[in-house]
Amino acid sequence: MNIMAALPVALTALRVNALRSFLAILGVIIGVAAVIATVSLAQGAADAVEESIASLGANALNIRAGSNQRGPRRGGAGSGEPFSSDDVDALRTQLPIVVAASGTLQSNVTAVVDGVNWPTQILGAHPDYVEVRDWVIADGRLFTPQENQRSARVALLGQTVVDELFPSGGAIGSSIRLQNQPFEVIGILGERGQGSFGQDQDDIVLAPIATVRDRVTGFRRAGVRDPVQTVWIEIASGEDMTNAVAEVEDFLRIRRGIEPGAEDNFSVRNFAEFIRAFNETENILGLMLAAAGLITLFVGGIGIMNVMLVSVTERTREIGLRLAIGARRSDIRNQFLIESVVLCSVGGAIGLALGVGVSLSAERLGPLVGANDLAVSVDPAIALIAIGASAAVGVLFGFYPALQASRLDPIEALRHE
């Protein structure tokens, strides 16, 4: 008996006991649906987090001052001796691995246009900042180094600020007031979406760092000329980031006069390491989900074996009759094996459809429960693996009942009541 001839017979046998067949594959359905739903939601969340981390810059390093120590009291991160614009220039010009560098200053401000107010963040930076952070300018232009040197009152707006203050367009060339200071809008930043901590990256005003320091924040530190809160640098493509971090740290230790063996008064953050660590965590979670799915499929396979053994008992006379009229034992074995595989494959298909449906429903219902960024990513490879695993369960747990059926004695089988 070939497969094409056995398949209709198998479907007929399963249809005769439809309820029992459905209950038998229920474990497979639940197992496959659970794996598809959890993996899709986890992958969607992983993609969103990885994209958010990557937006910080895979080749970017973030440098912050350490904490200060006054007697027994220790200040928070960034409270120590800050970096300066001279440090930024030194990193850019004296370290060959650094292709771009920018200091930053950030503060809360209220933007005003024609009596309309919008509370936002103003970020002061050097012109290299958009390159370091891979930030696209959607319209207009970036401020120049000369504008930064003379503290020019020019600014670029994030898309959220544009939507709130210029809903009808025409932002470029307009005047906007920040801390009662008039600024000319010279550009619009490309959309970035939400950051890794849920903040709106488009709710921002970008301006020359000297302008923000002199006209908005008044940020000053004793003994430090042109201080900055944070330094961002971009490492040349192809450089090993671990070695780059070590080279930057050595350079800064010398520049800040830190003695050998003394504790650093700054920190360098490597976002490529964050991405690598996140990927490792994601892989571990994927293995755990796969293990849970295999356990569920194993339990479902036991149910399949039980049903197939009952089916062999119920159809003993049928088996004896087939053997008596010339059917080979391999035909009997293959018949029951095909029934088991079909049963599990149908369960896998139903579970796949159910898992995808649950995932898409969760994505649609996410905003209703406050999960606005909930997303799913259904990997076709995972779907194929789920169906293949279901068929494999059918072979594994259907082989023993099929073998038992093929070993029946025809005479004893015909006498079976």
d(CA 101, CA 44): 33
pLDDT per residue of the chain (417 residues) written in tens, 0 to 9 = 556 666 676 667 667 777 777 877 787 888 888 778 777 777 776 666 666 655 555 688 999 987 554 444 444 444 568 899 999 999 999 999 999 999 999 999 999 998 899 999 999 999 999 999 888 999 999 999 999 999 999 999 999 999 999 988 889 999 999 988 999 999 999 988 776 555 788 999 999 999 999 988 888 776 778 899 999 999 998 888 888 989 999 999 999 888 888 888 898 888 666 666 666 776 677 677 767 777 777 878 888 888 888 878 877 887 788 778 877 888 788 778 888 888 888 888 888 888 888 877 877 776 554 455 556 667 777 778 777 888 888 888 888 888 888 887 777 767 666
Q: What is the pLDDT of residue 45?
A: 67
* Nearest by Cα to 276 from 245, 233, 236, 230: 245
Per domain, the residue ranges of the chain are 3-53+276-415, 60-236
Q: Tally the residues of the chain.
A: 417
Kindly state the tokens that stand for 101.
């560098």
Contacts of 54 (CB under 8 A, 6+ apart): 271, 275
Q: Which residues pair with 107 in a beta bridge?
A: 122
